[in-house]
Structure 1
Amino acid sequence: MKLFHYHFWTNRVEETENYYRKLGFTVAARYAMEKGTVTPYHPPLEWKDFRENALIFRIIEVRRGKVNITFGAGKKPIFDHIGYLVNEEELAQICNRADVMGWKAETGARRTFIFTPYRFKIELQTRKDTVSDENISISHMMIKSPHTSIKRDLERLFHRNVDELLIEEGEQLQLQEVLINGVEDSSKDPNKVIVTGC
C-alpha cells in the first residue's frame, strides 16, 4: 500500500489549481454543479472559458506521477481525507479491521472510504490509473490534530507502522505539510498546506 492522495475543500479553487499546475501537475478532471446537475469542464477548457459562469466546482483533480490531489469549493479550507493505493487483498483486510474497530467503511464502485473518529476519512483506491509511472511520489505528510491517538489507531487499522504520517498536536485538524519526492523548492499552497520537495 502506498500513500498517494489528499483532498480538501477550499474557497480558493482557481488559485489552488494554478498553484499545483505551476508545480508541474496536470488537471485530470473538473466537475461543477450547474443547475442541480454535475457538469464536466475538463481540459482543454481553461478558466477563461468558464470563469464568468460562477460555477461551483464539486471536484478538481490534479496529478503528477504517483501523486493525486483533489479539491472542491467550500466556504474555507478544510482538510477532508488522505488516500492509499491498495490491492484487493489489502482492501479486504483493512475493511475487516475497520469493522472490528467500529469504524464505518463505505464501499463504492470507484473507491472505498473509511470514516475515522478524527474528522477525516481514508480513501482506499485499487485503480492504478489514478496515477502514472513518473517517479514523483508522496514521501511524508504532517497532520495536526488535537487527538494524539491517531497514529496508534491507524497502525492498528493498517497492521503496520505508518512512518509516512507525522502527527503533531494542534488545536484543530489540519493538513500541515506534504513532502513530495521529485518536486523542487518549498512553498505554501493557497490553503496553507506547505508543499516541500525532497
Structure 2
Amino acid sequence: MLFHFHVWTPHVEETEKFYAGLGFQVTQRIGKKDGEFKSFDPPLNWDDFRGQSIRFRIIEMKRGATNITFGYGKKVMFDHIGFLVSEEEKVNVLERAEQIGLTVQSNERRTFIHTPYGFRIELQQHLDAVQSRSENRIHRLNMETKTAGLEEVLQQLFNCPVSQIVVTESDHTQLTHVNLMSDCAISSTDPNGIQIILSE
C-alpha cells in the first residue's frame, strides 16, 4: 500500500501549517540544536521554540492511511515514497530488486531501494506508521522523472502494475500532484509546489 512521501524544504514551518490545515497531525519533530539532535514533539508548538536555531531533520505528520515527512533543505527536493508491506511482500520485493540490480539499504526500522530515477522507495512494515489502513489513503501520486521506465521498474518490483503512481518525463525529478481520498473536496498547492487534491 502506497502510504508515504518525503521532501526536503526550506519552508518547514509553512509546510507543517499547510498540512495541519488539511487535518494532518504532527506525530514527531526531530531537529538539530547546539550540535545535537533533540525532540520537539507535540504538545510543543512553534511558538515554544521559534528563534532557537533548530535545523529540523524530520517532521512527521499523519492523517488516516497517509504519512508525510519533511525536513530542512536549502531547496525543495523530493526524496522518497513509501509502501506499507508485510514481511513476505518485503522479502519478495527485495529479491526482485536484487535481480534487476537496484541497491538496497536496510535497518531495523525501514528499508530503502535506490532507483536510477532520482528518488528512493521505502518499504515499511510497522503499522504504527499510519493511523488507519483504510481511511484517507493516497489515491494517486503524480511525479516527473528525467528518464522513462519507472512504471516498468515498479511493476517488476511489486509483480503487478502500480496504478497509483503516474509518471511523466521532465528535465528533473519532482513530485507534482498527490490525490488523497477524503470526505470533502479540496485542491490546494503546498509551500513546495505540490498540488494536493482531496476527493471522495
TM-score by length of 1: 0.97
| Aligned equivalents of 1:86, 1:154: Cα separation in 2 | 14
CA offsets, 1:113-139, max 9 Å, x none? 001111100000000011112611100
The residue that corresponds to 1:118 in the other structure is: 117
Gap runs ≥5 in structure 1? none
Note the C-alpha offset of 1:43: 0.3
Secondary structure in structure 2 of the residue aligned to 1:52: coil
Letter in 2 for 1:193: I
| Counterpart Cα distance in 1 of 2:64 and 2:174 | 24
CA distance in 2, matches of 1:153, 1:61: 28
**What residue number does 1:178 align with?**
178
- 1:26-73 alpha-carbon deviations (Å, 9 max, x no partner): 000000012222100000000001011021000000000000000000
Q: Report the equivalent of 1:192.
A: 193
1:89-168 mapped onto 2 (5 Å cutoff): 89-133=88-132, 135-168=135-168
Query: For 1:2-34, what per-residue CA distance to the aligned partner results, in whole angstroms no more than 9, with x for missing partners?
Result: 000000000000000000000000000000012
- Secondary structure in structure 2 of the residue aligned to 1:16: helix
Identity of aligned residues (%): 42
RMSD, aligned α-carbons: 0.9
Residue type at the aligned position of 1:139:
H
Q: Counterpart amino acid of 1:186?
A: S
Instruction: Give the CA deviation at 1:149.
Output: 0.8
Q: TM-score, normalised by structure 2?
A: 0.96
- What residue identity is the alignment partner of 2:126? R
Distance 1:100 1:166 in 2: 24
Superposition deviation, residue 100 in structure 1: 1.0
Cα distance in 1 for residues equivalent to 2:124 and 2:174 = 22
